[in-house]
Amino acid sequence: MTGHRRDDGVAVARQPHMRFAPFAAVAGGIVGVLFWPLHSLAYLATKDGGDPVLNWADTGRDVFGPLLDWDSVDTVYKTYGKLWLIVVAGFLLGLIALRAAREGKGKPAGLERWGWRIALAGYSLLLLGVTVEYFTPWLDFGFVAFSGPGLLLGLIGSTLLGAGLLRGGPETRVGAWLLALSIPLLLAMTAVFGHLSAGLLPLDLAWIAIGLALLRGGAQSREASASTTADWSQVSQP
């Protein structure tokens, strides 16, 4: 990979798609943070909606009423579900950008390497799953065949990746902790609020944090490169 190296060893790729990927991770995470109450409340209003630990559905519908009552509950649920495509695509692009950056310290090994591989498979399968669920008539099939297995692999991979990143320095520590604890946090948040949109909030925040760290690293790398180029230009002048 062609890239600049920061003092702490984090490489930032020159390729335009690698510069875009951290922005996508941040944007996807923000969309997840903003839309999870709407998707969760829409789900709780369907025939499949259960009783979460926190009895928040009535209060939530009072607050977000106009955003939930514009069509049938099933249509509202599937419409907001389409936003998962943006969120999961952000996860996947953030994962790819993180791997590119981390290779500046050498080939990732151990937990980080296996976590990245498993998370890549999981996020890719999850992306396929949300596409089938919310953009075709086969919602249940999409979840059982793709989203469910993809989510399981994604969580396992995220946990291993987070544990590996915790050994790698402070630049991604907040995101690393959120990834490492993604399984218990998902179980707790889903139980409290009654839907996976809430359960995946820690992953949303994790990829916001990691995306911002990658953007900061890229900006510092470009500044250092520009400074070095300017210094060499001055030295080479007769």
14 pLDDT higher than 70: no
Is residue 12 helix, strand or coil?
strand
Q: Is residue 3 part of a domain?
A: no
Q: Which domain holds residue 191?
A: 9-221
User: So what's the pLDDT on residue 106?
Assistant: 66
- What is the Cα–Cα distance from 185 to 230, expressed in whole angstroms? 48
Q: Is residue 14 part of a domain?
A: yes
Nearest of 97, 116, 103 to residue 11 by alpha carbon: 103
Q: Is residue 57 part of a domain?
A: yes
185 contacts 198 by C-beta, under 8 angstroms: no
23 is written with which tokens? 């922005």
203 contacts 179 by C-beta, under 8 angstroms: yes
User: So what's the pLDDT on residue 73?
Assistant: 93
- What is the Cα–Cα distance from 106 to 101, expressed in whole angstroms? 10
User: So what's the pLDDT on residue 207?
Assistant: 97
Domain count, the chain: 1
Q: Is residue 167 part of a domain?
A: yes
For range 225-236, the mean pLDDT = 44
Choose between 150 and 16: higher pLDDT: 150
Angle between helices 148-165 and 173-180 (to 10 degrees): 130
Q: Is residue 92 part of a domain?
A: yes
Q: Is residue 1 part of a domain?
A: no
Q: Is residue 63 part of a domain?
A: yes
207 contacts 90 by C-beta, under 8 angstroms: yes
Q: Is residue 185 part of a domain?
A: yes
167-196 pLDDT, tens digit per residue, is 766 567 899 999 999 999 999 999 999 999
Q: Which residues contact 220 (CB under 8 A, 6 or more apart)?
A: 6
194-212 pLDDT, tens digit per residue, is 999 999 999 999 999 999 9
